């Protein structure tokens, strides 16, 4: 292991005047874990089970590789991470909370304005625990979903990014397990153990939320997942960062810092795929983006296929917001456990007694927009904020296509397209937003979602490129390397 990393430095690292991350402890932390022996022992008992889970379910075939990873050494945005080679099972997963904001109050709901809770409010214990467990469950789930991807990495740069995302999802699990074990006693310890036992996609004991039981079989899925599904992570973490339960808020605030890189990996991964496609089309003199047979012969992903892939990931991720109209969500908000996106910046009473919110629903076979009590429409609102937040990257992808002079635009399908949860579950809605019958859906769905031929083609592209500086035909090299390293740097030293 290189010495230029603080990963193994056995001393405290001061990141700013207030927050010190202690790397001398078995579990790195900035929560003064050593002062609470019982908690420390409980977490140290969980740690080997976690590492066993990582070795069993983490990246397959690369556990001994030296990976150029960043490790959080503080929570100061100006300099919170260090880079160096690490073998993943030796990664220093730690507990990091954003600094406490003195005088912070509960931002929303019936307790608005009261001091934020430092301990679990008894009357909301089970609701709070459920929110933390659902958040926690997604983190190991995504590592499990992505565990086979190393073998087909399109470059060492991409492989390293995959592993970076994976170890940070592992750290996010630690962040939630800390809250469960510290604040929920024996129940919390049992939940922490159960988090290591559920398995993505397993019939008997699956992960909690639908999208986290889907497969991530190829790199295009990975990039779409990190753009669209990690963005659900961003939105949910932002809503939980508004929690009146201060330890949850502080955990989520720091997790959001790490999440930004995951979104970057997704956006640039899809963007580089588009670049390679457009460049190959132009070189071959192909102007029609629907001339897919000719385009696929060039070893790149045709744009209509990218649209179908995006349609799948967008619709599955929209289901993660729960039912648009939800009494669970109303209660989480009213209790002050989960806010809205940017709660503190919204200019209303933050209690929503009389407010309404427009929600799309299907009534008598037609899509209508109804005003619904805003409290019950909390999920719907977060979903709308999410859809708006997705648009930025899509516009940037379209710029790449436009600059290459190709007549094609990626778009978001209608909110009701391909939904299994909420107002549109059980309906057939086209990407354009028409309510259609089952027959029409069956006839068209291969045009709207990846079909068997698409999946076979994508699988055929997934040939490993594991030499420094080598990139697969279907993806352009990045403009910049990681941490100012060149793009042909040996980001992963394969054992
Ligand atoms: N699949 O009233 P409802 C991330 C369940 S991603 C299966 O409709 P509610 C990440 C629901 O649990 C962010 N089940 O919705 C990204 C409930 O069951 P219980 C994860 C579903 O409760 C990439 C029942 O249906 N964080 O971080 O208002 C990589 C009725 O629920 C689904 C969070 O989600 C589904 N899609 O809201 C790594 C935040 N949807 O409890 C990480 C915490 C709903 O009756 N979670 N159900 O047994 C929450 O805020 C809420 O639990 C939800 C659901 C928004 C998920």
Each residue's pLDDT tens digit, 154-166: 999 999 999 999 9
Is 28 domain-assigned?
no
Rounded to two decimals, what is the model's pTM? 0.95
In 345-451, which ranges are continuous DSSP H helix?
Answer: 378-403, 438-448
The Cα 218–Cα 233 span in angstroms is 21
Question: Does 54 score more than 80 pLDDT?
Answer: yes
Is 13 domain-assigned?
no
* 81-105 as b/e: b if 16+ CB within 10 A: bbbbbbbbeebbbbbbbbbeeeeee
Question: Does 7 score more than 80 pLDDT?
Answer: no
Contacts of 68 (CB under 8 A, 6+ apart): 83, 84, 85, 160, 482, 483, 485, 489, 490, 491, 492
Contact criterion met (CB below 8 Å) for 157 and 68:
no
Question: Does 484 score more than 80 pLDDT?
Answer: yes
Measured in Å, residue 332 CA sits from the centre of ligand 1 at 12
Each residue's pLDDT tens digit, 202-221: 999 999 998 999 999 999 99
Mean pLDDT on 113-140 = 98
Q: What pLDDT score was predicted for residue 258?
A: 87
Beta bridge partners of 367: 362
Question: Does 12 score more than 50 pLDDT?
Answer: no
Question: Does 254 score more than 80 pLDDT?
Answer: yes
Is 27 domain-assigned?
no
The Cα 269–Cα 272 span in angstroms is 5
Element spanning 264, H or E: helix 246-284
User: What CATH number does the domain containing 361 carry?
Assistant: 1.10.620.20
Measured from the Cβ of residue 331, the count of other Cβ atoms closer than 10 Å reads: 17
* 175-190 as b/e: b if 16+ CB within 10 A: bbbbbbbbbbeeebbe
Q: What pLDDT score was predicted for residue 3?
A: 28
The Cα 236–Cα 389 span in angstroms is 13
Beta bridge partners of 357: 372
Q: Is the dihedral of CA 216, 219, 221, 225 positive or negative?
A: positive
Question: Does 18 score more than 70 pLDDT?
Answer: no
Atom 17 (ligand 1): residue with closest C-alpha?
Answer: 322
Measured in Å, residue 131 CA sits from the centre of ligand 1 at 8
Q: What pLDDT score was predicted for residue 15?
A: 35
Note the maximum CA span of the chain: 68
Atom 34 (ligand 1): residue with closest C-alpha?
Answer: 135
Q: What pLDDT score was predicted for residue 20?
A: 66
Range 35-42, long-range pairs (CB < 8 A, 24+ positions): 36/182, 39/181, 39/182, 42/181, 42/189
Mean pLDDT on 130-152 = 98
Contact criterion met (CB below 8 Å) for 259 and 231:
no
Task: Write out residues with Cβ below 6 Å of ligand 1.
Answer: 130-131, 134-135, 138-139, 142, 169, 209-210, 229-230, 232-233, 236, 319-323, 326, 328-329, 338, 379, 421
Mean pLDDT on 168-196 = 98
Write out the residue range of the structural domain in which residue 97 sits.
33-493
User: Torsion over CA of 379, 381, 384 and 388, rounded to 10 degrees?
Assistant: -120
Question: Does 53 score more than 50 pLDDT?
Answer: yes
DSSP state of 405: T
Confidence band (pLDDT; 50, 70, 90) for 25? Answer: confident
Q: What pLDDT score was predicted for residue 467?
A: 97
* Residue from 161, 194, 328 to probe ligand 1 pocket by mutation (most atoms less than 8 Å from CB): 328
Atom 22 (ligand 1): residue with closest C-alpha?
Answer: 328
Q: Is 173 exposed, middle or buried (0-12, 13-18, 19+ CB in 10 A)?
A: buried
Measured in Å, residue 204 CA sits from the centre of ligand 1 at 19
Residue 272, φ and ψ in degrees, nearest 5: -70, -30
Question: Does 245 score more than 60 pLDDT?
Answer: yes
Atom 45 (ligand 1): residue with closest C-alpha?
Answer: 328
Question: Does 197 score more than 60 pLDDT?
Answer: yes
Q: What pLDDT score was predicted for residue 223?
A: 98
Could you identify the atom of ligand 1 that is nearest to the CA of residue 235? 13
In Å, how far are 9, 112, 312, 424, 439 from 116, measured between CA atoms?
A: 35, 9, 39, 37, 53
* Residue from 322, 331, 333, 381 to probe ligand 1 pocket by mutation (most atoms less than 8 Å from CB): 322
The alpha carbon of 352 is separated from its chain's Cα centroid by a whole number of angstroms, namely 29
Is 168 domain-assigned?
yes
Region of poorest pLDDT, from 3-17, 62-76, 101-115: 3-17
Quote the number of domains for the chain: 1
Confidence band (pLDDT; 50, 70, 90) for 19? Answer: low
Tokens at residue 465, please?
A: 């490129």
Q: What pLDDT score was predicted for residue 14?
A: 35
Q: What pLDDT score was predicted for residue 13?
A: 35
Could you identify the atom of ligand 1 that is nearest to the CA of residue 319? 36
The Cα 410–Cα 421 span in angstroms is 24
Question: Does 283 score more than 50 pLDDT?
Answer: yes
Confidence band (pLDDT; 50, 70, 90) for 1? Answer: very low
Is 19 domain-assigned?
no
Percent of the chain at pLDDT above 70?
95
The Cα 366–Cα 359 span in angstroms is 14
Contact criterion met (CB below 8 Å) for 328 and 335:
no
Question: Does 188 score more than 80 pLDDT?
Answer: yes
Question: Does 11 score more than 80 pLDDT?
Answer: no
Confidence band (pLDDT; 50, 70, 90) for 58? Answer: very high
Q: What pLDDT score was predicted for residue 73?
A: 78
Is 17 domain-assigned?
no
Region of poorest pLDDT, from 4-18, 101-115, 397-411: 4-18
Question: Mean pLDDT of all residues in the chain?
Answer: 94
Is 3 domain-assigned?
no
Is 5 domain-assigned?
no
Each residue's pLDDT tens digit, 337-395: 999 999 989 999 999 999 999 999 999 999 999 999 999 999 999 999 999 999 999 99
Residue-level length of the chain: 495
Percent of the chain at pLDDT above 90?
91
């Amino acid at each position: 292991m290189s010495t230029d990393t603080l990963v193994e430095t056995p001393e405290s690292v001061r990141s700013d005047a207030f927050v010190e991350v202690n790397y001398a402890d078995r579990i790195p932390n900035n929560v003064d874990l050593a002062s609470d022996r019982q908690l420390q022992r409980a977490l140290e008992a969980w740690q080997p089970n976690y590492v066993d889970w990582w070795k069993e379910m983490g990246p397959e075939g690369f556990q001994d590789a030296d990976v150029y990873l960043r490790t959080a050494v503080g929570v100061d945005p100006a300099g919170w991470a260090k880079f160096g080679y690490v073998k993943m099972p030796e990664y220093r997963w730690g507990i990091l909370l954003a600094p406490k904001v003195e005088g912070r109050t509960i931002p929303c709901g019936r307790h608005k304005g009261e001091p934020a809770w430092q301990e679990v409010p008894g009357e909301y214990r089970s609701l709070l625990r459920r929110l933390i467990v659902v958040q926690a469950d997604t983190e190991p789930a995504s590592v499990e979903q992505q565990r086979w991807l190393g073998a087909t990495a399109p470059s060492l740069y991409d492989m390293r990014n995959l592993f970076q995302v994976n170890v940070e999802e592992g750290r996010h699990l630690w962040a939630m397990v800390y809250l469960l074990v510290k604040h929920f006693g024996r129940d919390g310890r049992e939940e922490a153990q159960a988090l290591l036992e559920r398995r993505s996609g397993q019939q008997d004991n699956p992960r909690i939320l639908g999208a986290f039981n889907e497969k991530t079989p190829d790199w295009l899925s990975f990039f779409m997942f990190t753009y669209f599904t990690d963005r659900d992570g961003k939105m949910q973490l932002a809503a939980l960062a508004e929690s009146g339960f201060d330890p949850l808020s502080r955990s989520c605030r720091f997790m959001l810092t790490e999440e930004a890189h995951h979104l970057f990996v997704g956006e640039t991964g899809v963007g580089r795929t588009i670049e390679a496609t457009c460049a190959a089309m132009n070189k071959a003199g192909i102007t029609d983006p629907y001339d897919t047979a000719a385009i696929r012969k060039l070893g790149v992903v045709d744009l209509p296929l990218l649209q179908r892939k995006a349609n799948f990931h967008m619709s599955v991720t929209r289901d993660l917001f729960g039912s648009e109209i939800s009494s669970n969500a109303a209660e989480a908000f009213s209790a002050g456990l989960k806010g809205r996106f940017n709660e503190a910046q919204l200019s209303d009473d933050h209690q929503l007694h009389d407010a309404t919110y427009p929600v799309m629903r299907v009534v008598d076979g037609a899509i209508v927009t109804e005003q619904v009590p805003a409290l019950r429409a909390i999920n719907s609102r977060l979903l709308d904020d999410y859809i708006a937040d997705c648009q930025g990257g899509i516009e940037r992808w379209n710029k790449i296509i436009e600059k290459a002079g190709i007549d094609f635009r990626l778009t978001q399908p209608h909110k009701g397209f391909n939904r299994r949860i909420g107002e549109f579950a059980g309906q057939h809605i086209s990407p354009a937003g028409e309510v259609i019958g089952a027959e029409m859906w069956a006839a068209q769905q291969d045009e709207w979602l990846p079909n068997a031929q698409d999946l076979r083609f994508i699988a055929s592209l997934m040939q490993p490129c594991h030499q420094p500086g080598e990139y697969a035909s279907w993806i352009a090299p990045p403009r910049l390397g990681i941490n100012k390293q060149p793009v042909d740097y040996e980001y992963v030293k394969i054992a």
